Structure 1
Amino acid sequence: MFSETRKEKSRRKKVCLMKIFDSVLLLSDIDGTVAWDGKFVHRNFEAIRHFIDNGGHFSFSSGRNHRDIFFVLPNLCELVNMPCILCNGSYLYNAQTTEILNPRYLDSKYTIHLLAEIRKKFPKVGFRVTTPDGFLVPENDAVIMQQLAQWGTEDLATVQDQSQFDGERWFKAVFLSDELTLSHVAEYIQSHYQNFFTLSRSSTTLLELQPFGVSKSYQFPFLRRQYPGSVICAIGDFDNDAEMLQSANMAACPENASEEIKKIASIHVCHCRDGAVADFIERIENETFSVRRS
């Protein structure tokens, strides 16, 4: 029978002391991934607690901002133990300290000019801008105000004459219309402002405008510096999750994901309403345990 060397004993002791999710960062989209129809799926809560209690770092990666995220996740601080990626990657948010980290803002000059052109060329398209204070909405934009009222977030909106927009500290802009019209809006922006903005879709009726080069994966280098040696796992359901899933070490999507996302994600789990994040955590645990046993 062979005896263990000192190095082998040290390695075995270290492995025994490690928790199953040590060095694992898990990022989840919110709407359509961890929450269905605006409601958090309870099965996910228990799984997230298990993940964190066993050494993992969990947070959300969303198009939402640090104000409206609490409308769907009022207990956010209980669910996360690392900064959230918000506004599709425009900044990180520490829910415990309420600090905004590593922000990227839209170019004020070009954004103001673009919004004026969109209002002229596509008058029926609604739009809003996300700022540190919430939403900025142009006067008489009934389309956007109706949407915010449906979500219960109209109190987060500041209504202002568009001529008074200053473009300062704008994280992103969102256009609201039908799918075909938004396709025309996207074509116009890409043909005239290709090197100034990045576009993404968070649903068939929402087109999102971010700073050039920004997506949900934009903040990955920052997180890797904060958590050296970490493995990033990500789960999402719609097109604005694409870059995040492509850049993650493990990528998953729920059954209800778009066809594009299903092609990107190597791991397919159950429908959002059945606890997709919980399913993914089980897969991570099984794979991590297998690797550490070998």
Structure 2
Amino acid sequence: MGRFRGVLLATDYDDTLYSTNATISPENRQAIEYFVAEGGKFCISTGRSYINFAIQMEKERLPVNAPVILSNGASIYDFATEESLWLKHLPPLAPRHLAQVCRAFPQVGFEAYHQDEVFTFRANEVTRHHLTRCHLTGVPRAIEAMPVPWIKVILQHPDPGMLQQVQTYVRTQWPEDYDVTFSNPYLLEVTAKGANKGLSVLWVANHLQVKRQDIYCVGNGLNDIPMLQVSALSFAPANSYPAVRAAADVVLPSCDESCVAEMIRQLEARYPATP
């Protein structure tokens, strides 16, 4: 049957499974293959959208055997069947709201994700670095000329303090419309209300008939806290932001020290092998 049968492991991608030098360590890969061979369900939960995570699936030959959570929880996609299982777009008024944000904060730019395209408004150094890292090309466009609907928006500025003000502004203006979380200090991600990693992990668990007490999550970013909160035992790598380490039950070695492999070793104690 396998010692991990009925167990779901959901991991963040960048700076958790994927190291700072843009690789997946042999130790992580071997441990995941062992976890899957022992009946476990391995899920990646990432802020990346389909258009750039599909590149990673091909490049890294990722050993997932569960649906993948994309766009900070706004999308769930099964790469095995090439099927979109769940998708929640930003509300129709999002372009008008984002135009208001940009008037209030004229230094801030953003990326808007629509189907297989990324549109940019007031691209800055953060935008250019992010698109390069994700192997994407952004199309500059006036807000009113961008096609809709959007799956998510990433607000960007090199000053984290400025983005914290933007986060407060969006949450105050439209509290019922958006989830607004940082994926790193320079990227403020906006999804539809209820589209976050925590609720999406629960959706995947229910889809796979995994019990709540058998869900385990690991991540380093503030946007990972919702999924740590639904985990039976939550994990964070040592390179996590302080608030994430505080939210986790267990702090692992860093992403450059094969933290996912260490997590799986710790899960072995919770699921001993049967004779």
| TM exceeding 0.5 | yes
Structure 2 Cα separation of the partners of residues 285 and 202 of structure 1: 30
Give the whole-Å Cα distance in 1 for the aligned partners of 2:126 and 2:257: 31
Give the corresponding residue for 1:272: 255
| C-alpha deviation, 1:279, in angstroms | 0.3
- Which deviates more, 184-193 or 44-53? 184-193
Q: Distance in 2 between matches of 1:202 and 1:154?
A: 18
Instruction: Describe the SS at the equivalent of 1:19.
Output: coil
Instruction: Establish whether residue 57 from structure 1 lines up as the match of residue 41 from structure 2.
Output: yes
Q: How many angstroms does 1:287 deviate by?
A: 1.5
2-structure distance, mates of 1:281, 1:107: 39
The 5 A counterparts of 1:90-239 are 90-109=74-93, 111-138=94-121, 141-143=123-125, 145-151=127-133, 153-155=135-137, 157-168=138-149, 170-177=150-157, 178-230=159-211, 231-239=214-222
**Structure 1: any 5+ residue segments left out of the alignment?**
1-17
Residue deviations 1:88-126, cap 9 Å, x none?
1101011122222111110021x1112111222222212
Q: What is the CA–CA distance in structure 2 between the aligned matches of 1:27 and 1:220, rounded to whole Å?
A: 7
Verify: 1:36 aligned to 2:36, yes or no.
no
Q: CA deviation at 1:210?
A: 1.0
Indicate whether 1:248 and 2:231 are aligned.
Answer: yes
- How many residue pairs align between the two structures? 271
Shift of 1:214: 1.9
The residue type paired with residue 5 of structure 2 is: D
Q: Does structure 2 retain, via aligned residues, the 8 Å contact 1:65–1:134?
A: no
Query: Deviation at 1:40?
Result: 2.2
Larger Rg: 1
1:58 to 1:287, Cα distance in 2 relative to 1, 3 A: same
Aligned 8 A contact 1:48 1:278 in 2: yes
**DSSP-derived class of the 1:182 partner:** helix
**Higher mean displacement: 41-50 or 276-285:** 41-50
CA RMSD of aligned residues (A): 2.0
Q: How far did residue 76 of structure 1 move?
A: 5.3
The CA distance in 2 between the partners of 1:254 and 1:219, in whole Å, is 21
Q: Are the counterparts in 2 of residues 40 and 73 from structure 1 also a CA contact under 8 Å?
A: no
Q: Which runs of 5+ in 2 are unaligned?
A: none
Moved more, 215-224 or 120-129: 215-224
TM-score with structure 2 setting the length: 0.91
SS class of match (2:107): coil
Distance 1:183 1:152, change over 3 A: closer
**Secondary structure in 2 aligned to 1:218?**
helix
- Paired with 2:48 and 2:134, the residues of 1 have a C-alpha distance of 14
Deviations 1:5-63 (A, max 9, x none): xxxxxxxxxxxxx2111001111001111112232223211111111111111020010
